[in-house]
Amino acid sequence: MRILLVEDEPALARQLSNVIADAGFVVETVGDGEEASSLGAIEPYDAVVLDLGLPRLDGVSVLERWRSAGIDVPVLVLTARGRWPEKLAAFSAGADDYVTKPFETQEVILRLRALIRRAAGAATAALECGALRFDTTTGSVTVDGTAVRLTTQESRILEFLLHRRGRIVSRLEIIDHVYERDFDRDSNVIDVLIGRIRRKIGVEVIETVRGRGYRLNDMVGSTSS
Ligand code: CA
């Protein structure tokens, strides 16, 4: 899952970026509203953490631009501005959640996870597919109750597939959500990682859809479709 962090205070941006990355997300940080506005319009982020007081363009205006352009990415506003009119303005502009500074960093992570799984249509913290279970709160994976150890990147890919369960996702789409912008998009690394995930989980839930990508479901008879 790929997160855009919009925060102009360098020390806070670094701290938050580390916490978000430690939680297993890919995080990209920008410090001004104009840049945030254009990046958010072209990059498929899974969620945004948005400060309100920003150089060049304030957070509410960034949000208004995205929403009027039909960009429905979940947005968590993180700001020192905790007065009611400011909250009202942010929610009216299309915010999904609002946290005021100072804040518990883990609370931000929990809220981000909740926003992402809600956006994917899941109400509970655990994503399941057949015998496979992925706990989005802890990042732990089990098959029939037995723990499976995945690397950060394998885990990101599996979580992304689970969020889009039943749908075909292309390699490029996977790359867009589990790597940073400058990643070499011609890489066949996704196929290699999918192969490793399949071996580790040992159940056939990831289907290869020839020429199109992968699809996760619990009815896979053959992995070569
Ligand atoms: Ca600020």
**172-204 pLDDT, tens per residue?**
999 999 998 888 877 789 999 999 999 999 888
pLDDT in tens, 25-81: 999 999 999 999 999 999 999 999 999 999 999 999 999 999 999 999 999 999 998
SS3 70: coil
The pLDDT value recorded for residue 221 is 55
CA 86 – ligand 1 centroid, Å? 14
CA 179 – ligand 1 centroid, Å? 26
CA 61 – ligand 1 centroid, Å? 14
The pLDDT value recorded for residue 225 is 41
CA 35 – ligand 1 centroid, Å? 14
**Tokens of residue 122, six digits:** 């899941």
State what percent of residues in the chain have pLDDT above 90.
80
SS3 171: helix
Do you find a cis peptide bond into 10, omega within 30 degrees of 0?
no
What is the rounded CA–CA span in Å between residue 145 and residue 12? 39
CA 52 – ligand 1 centroid, Å? 6
Q: Which residues pair with 208 in a beta bridge?
A: 214
Residues with Cβ within 8 Å of 195's Cβ and at least 6 positions away in sequence, in order, are none
The pLDDT value recorded for residue 183 is 83
CA 28 – ligand 1 centroid, Å? 17
CA 8 – ligand 1 centroid, Å? 5
Question: What's the pLDDT band for 218 if we cut at 50, 70, 90?
Answer: confident
Element (H, E) at 126: strand 126-129
**Which pTM value belongs to this model?**
0.85
Question: What's the pLDDT band for 224 if we cut at 50, 70, 90?
Answer: very low
What is the rounded CA–CA span in Å between residue 167 and residue 188? 21
